Structure 1
Amino acid sequence: MAAGEHLSKRTDRIADFRQYRHAVQSGAMCYSVRQSGVIETLSLSSRDTGRWIIPKGNIDEDERPYKAAKREAFEEAGVVGKIKKLPIGCYSYVKSPSKPVYLVAVFLLRVTDEEDEFREKGQRIRQWLPPSEAAALVADPN
């Protein structure tokens, strides 16, 4: 079984994580291949601290994790496209000591269009960068 398949099976069993005080979320690593052939990735500012992040959020009940990632990408950044069904990786973070540990499964989304109107427009800044620059921006100092 490939690593992505194993992670996908685990993220589909959300109740398993919640019983151990984990919250499972889905995130989208959004990328675009420009006409010149250059690949760029999308970085977003968070609403509370202004740090650079990828679109991510909670998985609705009975929602597949990859579909949640696609939904979050549209709601937070106004991007649509083709998403891979298996995660490319995951990471965890803690918002505060009183909250659970968040486990985020990350899915690759090839952006085909950017909408002008979306739920969180005006609350975030979106920018397209080469992957190495985007990685440096989203790196968590903790």
Structure 2
Amino acid sequence: MFEKNKALLQVAAIPFKYENDCLKILLLTTRKKRKWIVPKGWPVDGLSFNESAKKEAMEEAGVSGSISKAPIGDFIHNKTISRGQKTPCKVITYSLLVTDQLLDWDERKERSRRWCSISEAAERVSNQGLSKMLRIISDDPSILSRLTEK
């Protein structure tokens, strides 16, 4: 997976819901540095990219729902792979319309999660590419729902 000159690829979900007609985005913290992010991880063998992103959302944030069939965008994340060495990783991102949220999930003791407005989410995340994607969605929230499976 970490061969020289081979691009790293991850998948992510942007979990969302509407609460009193207001768009809410679910953020969660990284395990070690407690930075705000969206659920992301490596593609799973035997699963499509969007199903891998949906699986990450359940494992990391305890949410499930309808995942978009096509990506809504991508961003670059500097992934720490070993001994502090960082390498650019392209993160292909899907929207996830949340229909179920667990109180107890795999990584509950390692992460915090928070529902927030799209503008607050764009401010809280530290990754500039993800923040930019969230600002674009803020200008056109239909990006999230028009590609989501019904």
TM-score (norm 2): 0.76
1: distance between equivalents of 2:22 and 2:74? 25
Q: Which of 37, 46, 51 matches 2:21? A: 37
User: Deviations along 1:92-128, whole A, 9 cap, x unmatched?
Assistant: 1223474542110010000011012211011100000
Contact in 2 for aligned 1:44/1:125 (Cα 8 Å): yes
State yes or no: 1:51 paired with 2:39.
no
Q: Which residue of 2 aligns with 1:27?
A: 12
Q: Which residue of 1 aligns with 2:144?
A: none
TM-score (norm 1): 0.80
2: distance between equivalents of 1:99 and 1:127? 27
1:22 partner letter:
A
State yes or no: 1:121 paired with 2:105.
no
Q: What are the within-5 Å matches in structure 2 for residues 1-142 of structure 1?
A: 20-34=5-19, 36-96=20-80, 98-140=85-127
Point out where structure 2 has 5 or more consecutive residues left out of the alignment.
130-150
2:41 partner letter:
G
Moved over 3 A (4+): 96-100
User: Deviations along 1:49-80, whole A, 9 cap, x unmatched?
Assistant: 10000000001123210001100000000001
2:58 partner letter:
F
2: distance between equivalents of 1:45 and 1:33? 21
Contact in 2 for aligned 1:21/1:101 (Cα 8 Å): no
Contact in 1 for aligned 2:35/2:126 (Cα 8 Å): no
1: distance between equivalents of 2:9 and 2:128? 22
2:127 partner letter:
D
Question: Which secondary structure state, in structure 2, belongs to the residue aligned with residue 62 of structure 1?
Answer: coil
1: distance between equivalents of 2:33 and 2:128? 14
- Percent of pairs identical after alignment? 33
Compute the displacement of 1:141 (Å). 6.3
1: distance between equivalents of 2:4 and 2:69? 25
Q: CA RMSD in A?
A: 2.2
Point out where structure 1 has 5 or more consecutive residues left out of the alignment.
1-14
Compute the displacement of 1:19 (Å). 7.1
Contact in 1 for aligned 2:76/2:91 (Cα 8 Å): yes
Question: How many correspondences in the alignment?
Answer: 126
